[in-house]
Amino acid sequence: MMAKKAKTVKKSKKPAVKKKIVKKKKTVKKKGRKKKKKGGVNYFGLLIILAVIAGVIMFAKTKGSEPLKYIKAQKLAEFSQADKGGNLSTPRGLGISPDGHLYVADQNNSRVVKFRLNGEPVSSWGTEGEENGQFKEPSGVGVDRDNNVYVADAWNGRIQKFDSEGKFLKSLGGTAGGFYSPRNVAVNAYGMVFVADTGTSRIHRFDTEFNRIGKPFGQRGKAFGNFQEVFGLAFDSQRRLYVGDPGNRRVAVLTSDLQPVAHINVKGWEAAPPMWPMTAVDSRDYLYVVSSGTQEIWVYNTKDPKFKYVGTIKNDPQGKGLFNNPLGIAADSAGNIYVSETSKGSIVKIRPIFE
């Protein structure tokens, strides 16, 4: 009787255990399915939230910014042949004299080349070396109201002054100059010589006899009034100085006493950092900023209190690109713009078409 009772107990227990296990498995599967559905809804909602946030960020970035506007320019000429010694090789800084001549810092040929504004070569002078009238990387050119020519002789750490025929007049460097690597020089209408000493990120002022005016201005940094690099130098009709600072992706605006008053963020420089960019101001007080990385020239109105963006020069009226690797720039009194093409070894003369 006891054996029969034991069998009965075994039979009743086994089915009960199986039923419980099956129920647990089914319950787990159902719960898992519900979780997946909930998870899908959360991911979808998350995507919507992220899209909304991205849209807000994009709106914040573009709100208030000037839309990109292209200015066509007519290509008038392109020239590279010097009076002797072959073509230009890596031309950099440009300067235009009051008597209507274009001076080019022909870097790789260690010389200065003089052209008429129609591209006809006139003369040239200079060889590689450290003596008076010789150069080691001539980079920038400035011309005063008496048609004297000033050359930034970068690796000799000096500024050399010549008459319009290339006769050496004097030199400023060493302790008196305080330069490390001067890459550009410009002379304003009042006879003040400004030197961009790229190696120390400072601007110096002198008179045309190289007597120092005041203290050098500038120190390396990102704050307002500081520079990362200094290259381009140009003046407007209000005697303000525009300094190209590609390291900070902006052009600094200073008074003639070297007091910072504003800066202009150059979007072309933000997109592609340039190499040794120069600046120029034309007779209508438009500022031209070379953007070699994007093969463009950005134009701003200096008469506008906020230095309004005017447009970007890139192509001719037929849509053909005007530039390959632009660097130096100068403007004549007739509204023509001259741009040095470093890779092609040439000077491009254009006339912007403003509507």
Percent of the chain whose pLDDT exceeds 90: 76
Residue bearing tokens 């600094």: 252
Number of helices and strands in the chain (H, E): 3, 24
Distance CA(280)–CA(287), nearest Å, equals 6
The confidence score (pLDDT) of residue 6 equals: 41
Closest CA to 141 of 329, 284, 303: 329
Residue 207 has φ and ψ, to the nearest 5°, of: -90, 180
The confidence score (pLDDT) of residue 66 equals: 65
The confidence score (pLDDT) of residue 275 equals: 78
- Residue type, position 351, single letter: R
Q: How far apart are the first and last CA of the chain?
A: 116
The confidence score (pLDDT) of residue 18 equals: 44
Residue 70's beta-bridge partner residues?
312
- Report the top-level CATH class of 73-352: mainly beta
Structure-block tokens of residue 316: 């001719």
Angle at 332 between CA 328 and CA 335, to 5 degrees: 105
The pTM of the full predicted model, rounded to 2 decimals, is 0.81
Distance CA(116)–CA(257), nearest Å, equals 33
Residues of the chain with pLDDT under 70: 1-66
| Other CB atoms within 10 A of residue 167 CB | 12
The confidence score (pLDDT) of residue 42 equals: 54
Residue bearing tokens 């009194």: 333
Distance CA(249)–CA(106), nearest Å, equals 26
Written as one string, the DSSP assignment of 3-61 is HHHHHHHHHHHHHHHHHHHHHHHHHHHHHHHHHHHHHHHHHHHHHHHHHHHHHHHHHHH
| Model confidence pLDDT, tens digit, residues 211-263 | 999 999 999 999 999 999 999 999 999 999 999 999 999 999 999 999 999 99
